[in-house]
Amino acid sequence: MELLKNLAKLHTTELGVLRIKRNLGIECDDTVAWCRDRINSPDAVIERKGKNWYITVNDCIITVNAYSYTIITAHKAVT
């Protein structure tokens, strides 16, 4: 899968880090590594819709731009 082959390219902006931490209620030193670990999890469900990848794993949804590999946001999955 294209996204998994390019995990090393994952990155986000400073505002992206703040948004991800706020939306998920997490505290970690490396938000990109935290997201990368979840995306690489065997439990992750990855689907591409248009210009974005949507990764559902551990009750959260991570949105990644398919062209730049920028983590746009992450939020808790609605159950």
Residue 29 structural domain: 2-76
1 confidence band (pLDDT: 50, 70, 90): confident
The pLDDT of residue 17: 97
Q: Regarding beta strands 52-57 and 45-49, do their DSSP bridges make them parallel or antiparallel, or are they unpaired?
A: antiparallel
The string of pLDDT tens digits covering residues 45-65 is 999 999 999 999 999 999 999
Number of compact structural domains in the chain: 1
SS (H, E, C) the chain: CHHHHCHHHCECCHHHHHHHHHHHCCCCCCHHHHHHHHHCCCCCEEEEECCEEEEEECCEEEEEECCCCEEEEEEECCC
The string of pLDDT tens digits covering residues 5-56 is 999 999 999 999 999 999 999 999 999 999 999 999 999 999 999 999 999 9
